[in-house]
Structure 1
């Protein structure tokens, strides 16, 4: 443990472009370190990050952004979110959401997801024709998960273009060094998103369907409990945001990693049976979510450091996923990696509820990209978004050959 400022500037363009050398340097100094600039502890090692995510004394304790009148809708969608709750409230909400998910929605969509992935890739191939670079990020990586989560919830096709801009604006609030403009845009997006979903939920009460939103509206547990209006709206927004932001980033980061490791791309193309392990490896190799905060409800020792009650500690997921003490050749991309306890989906009670759906989407999209092309080549340098927490790309120009 060290009390010195951690050697990590989350706004440094070099760290944003490639944080993994900085993570390695930090881990060499200590698995848990105090970061003076952020005013919190940072956990770099895999065992320590895992402990942070699982220790019930380290909770998700939501505090409304101030001033309250400026962030009314942003606060509402977090105050009622399962991601910001601890048991027993978290237990109750997860039980209700899981009951709605248990209606077989993910398996119902599996053939539709594959069909959509195939059609999106075919369209990209048609435009590229083995010569012209086309943006796989906007042409498929963003299209597929947004369409899937919208189909899952029953969002009308005409309204789906609204979803990603709202989500993009909201998640920028999770970054450090935000501007006033970013904060104002996040509140505007939250306000519009809340109003839209209240109206859509009201329609489902009047005219129920077979979609997840209908089941969230009507679900009750054994005691007759049900979601409140605010919990319903918040859950839908969380599913839409988390349900596609991470998947978009895994898709973009993962395809870029394969293009930069052509031997692994060729290996996966030659053996499609490796696809399930390849998807897990792509999530490990370049994590879509890099940082997740917790707050100590009492003094907790983690990795030799004492996190005092009220202090925050951040789990650095990308650093944990490259810890050489846990992963052999941790900086090597290995699509056949069998021993892969990555924690990109989190751990403990906050383990991602949408993990099965994300895996279906990613296997469908990468399966289509490899199965419906004979060659994939980087057409121009990919541009990375200038954010640390949600690690992703602006675009990914690729030449696709049928």
Structure 2
């Protein structure tokens, strides 16, 4: 098999190909997307921190100056929302946005949410057990992070059913060479979510509540505040980044445990292993397989010169299986203590929501282990079509 992100077989199991890339072609050009694939942990980690690369190039050059076509006009509403958040911008704009958002989205806020997250996880699992099981992804993995982010943002309960479809549709734009239909769907979702958030943010500015949208609407730093577009872009990012990955860690993680029954038995016998188990599940079957960066100045990676104006594809799934960093990397070890995985990224774009994701995952896995200790798989699941954001279609469980 070769690197083929559109192949269902490769998406289901990319790790043998990654092993070959790390050994033989740790930096290689992938003609179909015009990207340089980077497979080793040391290189991926270094490039995530290297300011000669950026998530965007628009702060230093136009599309034309970078040899790229202009964005299609129909995508304008999408990029207006996405580029108002901090993920797709670089310093000094990124620095300013992250500083302001960090003043509202604090570690104290995350820790204060823990009892509420634990209660939500238990309620979802109680219903799941009462029904004798079902689709773990649709009934537990998806509702938990959506409900948490909705509670945190202050989205009224009656509107929360809108969030998951918006998130999934927007994230479709991040796959490699998305179809025109997927692009238009992402644009429509961004427009609808943006319009909804503008209305909600204006209401919160006028009548603040105890929620993150109110905090973002009112946050200041030496007189600086978020614009309305920046607030909307931040909320969209928090939903997408804080939701898609958490859902897939849960689904991928349980499928990983069912494929490694000795480790599942070990975790069932000792719930104190939950924090290390969550980190290991993120490493062993990474939900975000690839993260792309633009080369803003010529760089050399692994002896290969990569010129300004090209794009690198950092293979997180490969980096997290690198034997130079992880002992016996193909083995799932729920007690793995030394685990410098890069599933949350690194450098200035390190995931701001990582502490919240860890809380959600520990509480979700913990509730299932306690309340459904004999949970078993009904049938082998199938993988969704996405490679960049990689997860299962469903996970049918019997309790």
Q: Which runs of 5+ in 2 are unaligned?
A: 64-68
Query: Which has the larger displacement, 8-17 or 334-343?
Result: 8-17
Residue 357 (structure 2) aligns with: 358
1:7–1:25 contact (8 Å) kept in structure 2: no
Partner of 1:159: 159
Q: TM-score, normalised by structure 2?
A: 0.95
- Aligned residue for 2:94? 90
CA-CA distance at 1:21 after TM superposition: 1.0
Partners in 2 of 1:293 and 1:339 — Cα distance?
26
Q: Which moved more, 1:73-82 or 1:267-276?
A: 73-82
**Aligned residue number for residue 113 of structure 1:** 117
- Structure 2 match to 1:18: 13
The counterpart of 1:44, out of the listed 39, 44, 52, is: 39
Bigger drift between 199-208 and 79-88 goes to 79-88
Find out whether 1:294 has 2:298 as its counterpart. no
- Alpha-carbon displacement from aligned partner over 1:93-142 (angstroms, at most 9, x marks no partner): 100000001272211211011011111111111111xxxx5101011000
Q: Say how many residue pairs are matched.
A: 390
Question: 5 Å matches for 1:3-402?
Answer: 7-61=2-56, 66-102=70-106, 104-128=108-132, 133-221=133-221, 223-400=222-399
The verdict on how the C-alpha distance between 1:103 and 1:338 changes in structure 2, with shifts beyond 3 A counting, is closer
For each residue in 1:2-55, what CA deviation from the matched residue of structure 2 results, as whole angstroms up to 9, or x when unmatched? xxxx94111112111111111111112122111122111111000011011111
CA offset digits 1:288-342 (Å, max 9, x no partner): 1011111111111112111111111111000000011111110110000001000
Q: Give the SS at the match of 2:282.
A: helix
| Residue 66 of structure 1, CA deviation | 4.8
Q: Which moved more, 1:278-287 or 1:95-104?
A: 95-104
Matched residues in 2 for 1:374 and 1:347: separation? 35
1:364-384, Cα deviation, whole Å (9 max, x unpaired): 000001011230110112121
- 2:66 is matched with which residue? none
Q: Is the 1:7–1:22 Cα contact (8 Å) retained in structure 2?
A: yes
Structure 1 stretches of 4+ moved >6 Å: none
Q: Cα RMSD between the aligned structures? A: 1.4
Q: Distance in 1 between matches of 2:373 and 2:251?
A: 19
Q: 1-side partners of 2:102 and 2:245: how far apart?
A: 20
State how far apart, in whole Å, the 2-side matches of 1:304 and 1:317 are: 20
Mapped to 2, the partners of 1:192 and 1:80 lie a distance apart of 16
For residues 210-256 of structure 1, give each alpha carbon's deviation from its aligned partner in whole angstroms, at most 9, with x where no partner exists: 101100000001x2101111100000000011111000000000011
Pick closer, same or farther for the CA change 1:344–1:390 going to 2, 3 Å. Answer: same
Report if aligned partners of 1:48, 1:303 keep a CA contact under 8 Å in 2. Answer: yes
Please name the residue that 1:3 is paired with: none
Query: In 2, are the aligned partners of 1:290 and 1:388 still within 8 Å (CA)?
Result: yes
Asked whether the equivalents of residues 117 and 363 of structure 2 are also in contact (C-alpha less than 8 Å), the reply is yes
